[in-house]
Amino acid sequence: MTFDRDAAVAELVALLGDAAVLGSPADLSGYERGTRYGAGRAACVARPRDAREVQQVIRWARKHELRLIAQGANTGLVAAASPDDTGNQVIVSFERMRHEIDLDVHNRTVRVGAGVLLQSLNDYLQPHGLCFPIDLGANPSIGGMIAANTGGARLMKYGDVRRNLLGLEVVLADEPATHLDFMSGLRKDNSGVDLKQLFVGTSGAFGFITSAILEVHPLPQQRACALLVPSTPERALDLLRAFELKCGELLTSFEAMSKAAMECVFRFRPQIRNPFGETVPELVILVELTSAMPASMGVDLESMLETVLTELAESDDATLADALLGRAEESWQLRHAISDSLREAGKVIAFDISVRRSSIQAFRDLMIQELKQRWPHLKVCDFGHLGDGGLHLNLVWPHDCGIEPDAAVIQEIRAFVYHVLVSQFQGSFSAEHGVGPYNSAIYQRYTASNQQHIAGSLQRLLNPDGALGTVKFGP
């Protein structure tokens, strides 16, 4: 370390107060390690309370030549919020900006501090008959959700974070610690370059997100689910089309679960039984309808689902082999149990990828075939968001196969999957987790060089000295 850490920390305490700085190893440990990947050593944790204090932290850090990392709830999966091993990175935590929630009922928007947690926001909105419906397996902060542009399992109805972002406050880590106010809360505004878009999905590497205005939605008053078995996996897309045309605006989720993924659940979670009896279908679709319309409006989602299923069963095209209606909780329990069950079955090599919906079966088929040939032990236990093209192509190297895969083999498998995905299918190697140190080599490998040049120039423009963030978007 080239600086006097204790003196620097004392200076920050003098600036912002005791509660604004954490410096002891015990205090730091919860911030230094990511949920799945990423671990290092931080110089300290700074905990500003607003944009002005963020500016003070930036000026202090620049003076001491410390680099900065924004951290929300530390739930990210690409290590974008984790420090490296140098010990001269400062984690800027937004946990003291968790309580600012200001609802504008008539604008149907909410102004939130960057540190507000998704669950807290939804708890706050619920009595007003509203929600922020980005549906995730974690409880991230709003700032983190913006930096990762999270999507989730209900994207086909509600979109991603970008779609619901109507205002943003940002502080740049440049010399003047530039404060940018995009907090308009407007739905229709084309009065210039929409600069706030630059901070969405860029892993906190372009500027500190301190506040946001989000569009919120009427809370669903009804929900209906069914499990569908397409006659062949390929026909799943015909089912999707039928549901889109018949249930239109109310179609909320269309999730796919492969036979191999479900078998792991039934084996390692015996309390979850196979709803289809003895045999496990090749592919099961979880379809969900939701609506803000109360039943008093004459809309009954259960009977709507029943009507579609009856029509499909009676039609000649035989898209549907089997269907179970009205088991919302049980269905989602099965879907949500997959990730953990796979980890009990073996070493999981996880992928968060997407392809065009029309290519999803061709990609799956090719992967299953090619991976089996190359690594016979490997099981493709995929599941995902068929409705939006998102696919968790999780591969399991079974514990009970007698051989442990080493890091080189895992690297080889990853490289093979990404290569086919991007080169042959123009897919995305990071559908909803963003880019961080964990996958930035993949970014560099598969992003067109002229695009990397532009992205790098943007980063230099907004974060000129590289004082902020863990990702380099330039070549």
Q: How far is CA 293 from CA 129, 185, 230, 298, 300, in A?
A: 11, 25, 29, 9, 9
- The least distance separating a second copy from the CB of residue 454, rounded to whole angstroms, comes to 6
Minimal distance in Å, beta carbon 16 to a second copy? 24
* Residue 415: its H or E element: helix 407-419
Q: Of 7, 188, 373, 400, which one interacts with a second copy (CB under 8 A)?
A: 188
Per-position x/- string for 103-132, each x denoting binding to a second copy as judged by CB under 8 A, each - no binding: -xxxxxx-------------------x---
Task: Classify burial at 284, counting beta carbons within 10 Å of its beta carbon; exposed 0-12, middle 13-18, buried 19 or more.
Answer: buried
CB nearer a second copy, residue 17 or residue 294: 294
How far apart CA 102 and CA 167 sit, in angstroms, is: 13
Q: Cα dist. 397→107, 281, 283 in Å?
A: 51, 22, 21
Question: Which residues, 274 to 293, sit near a second copy by CB under 8 A?
Answer: 291-293
Q: What is the DSSP string of 274-329?
A: -TT-SSPPSEEEEEEEEESS-GGGT--HHHHHHHHHHHHHHSTT--EEEEEES-HH
The whole-angstrom separation of Cα 178 and Cα 467 is: 13
Kindly state the smallest distance separating residue 320's Cβ from a second copy, in Å: 17
Specify the DSSP class assigned to residue 220: P
Please report how close the Cβ of residue 147 comes to a second copy at its closest, in angstroms.
Answer: 10
Residue 365: CB minimum distance to a second copy, A = 15
Contact 241, 320 (CB under 8 A): no
Rounded CA-CA distance 203/66 in Å is 19
Closer residue to a second copy in complex, CB, 174/330: 174
Candidate residues 27, 249, 340, 365; the one interacting with a second copy per rule CB under 8 A: 249
- Give, for 36, the enclosing helix (H) or strand (E): none
Q: Which is nearer to a second copy, 203 or 341 (CB)?
A: 203
Q: Could you tell me the smallest distance in angstroms from the CB atom of residue 475 to a second copy?
A: 12
Q: Are 168 and 184 a contacting pair, CB within 8 Å?
A: no
The residues pairing with 306 across neighbouring beta strands, listed in sequence order, are: none
Using CB under 8 A, which of 281, 390, 405, 437 touches a second copy? 390
* Binder among 47, 154, 335, 357 for a second copy (CB under 8 A): 357
CA distance 211 to 116: 9
Least distance (Å) between residue 10 CB and a second copy: 32
Region for 17 from its dihedrals, namely left if φ exceeds 0, alpha if ψ lies in -120 to 50, beta otherwise: left
SS3 392: strand
Total number of residues shown for the chain:
475
Span interacting with a second copy, options 92-100, 277-285, 342-350, 423-431, rule CB under 8 A: 423-431
Asked whether position 447 contacts a second copy by CB under 8 A, the answer is yes
Q: Min. distance of Cβ 299 from a second copy in angstroms?
A: 6
Q: What is the DSSP letter of 141?
A: B
Options 64-72, 87-95, 154-162, 338-346: segment touching a second copy (CB under 8 A): 154-162
> Token pair of 464, please?
């000129």
Q: Is 148 in the site for a second copy (CB under 8 A)?
A: yes
Among 51-59, 93-101, 197-205, 336-344, which window interacts with a second copy (CB under 8 A)? 197-205
Q: At its nearest, how many Å lie between a second copy and the CB of residue 237?
A: 4
Q: Which of 6, 65, 175, 181 binds a second copy (CB under 8 A)?
A: 181
Could you tell me which stretch among 198-206, 223-231, 266-274, 278-286 binds a second copy (CB under 8 A)? 198-206
The residues that bridge with 209 in the sheet, in sequence order, are 170
User: What are the tokens at 206?
Assistant: 């372009």
Rounded CA-CA distance 438/188 in Å is: 37
Q: Which is nearer to a second copy, 176 or 402 (CB)?
A: 176
Q: Which is nearer to a second copy, 75 or 341 (by Cβ)?
A: 75
Task: Work out the burial of residue 127: count CB atoms within 10 Å of its CB; fewer than 13 is exposed, 13-18 middle, 19 or more buried.
Answer: exposed
Please state the closest distance from residue 96 (CB atom) to a second copy, in A. 26
> Shortest gap between Cβ of 50 and a second copy (angstroms)?
18
Kindly report the number of other CB atoms within 10 A of residue 281's CB atom: 20
Query: Could you tell me which residues are beta bridge partners of residue 102?
Result: 111
Q: Counting contacts by CB under 8 A, is residue 457 touching a second copy?
A: yes
Window 205-234: residues binding a second copy (CB under 8 A): 218, 221
Q: Which stretch binds a second copy (CB under 8 A): 38-46, 86-94, 98-106, 366-374?
A: 98-106
Which of positions 301-330 make contact with a second copy (CB under 8 A)?
Answer: 303-304, 307-308
- C-alpha pair distances (Å), 140 with each of 28, 148, 204, 265, 362: 19, 10, 14, 26, 34
Report if residue 449 touches a second copy, rule: CB under 8 A. Answer: no
Decide if residue 12 touches a second copy (CB under 8 A): no
Within residues 403-422, the interface with a second copy by CB under 8 A covers none
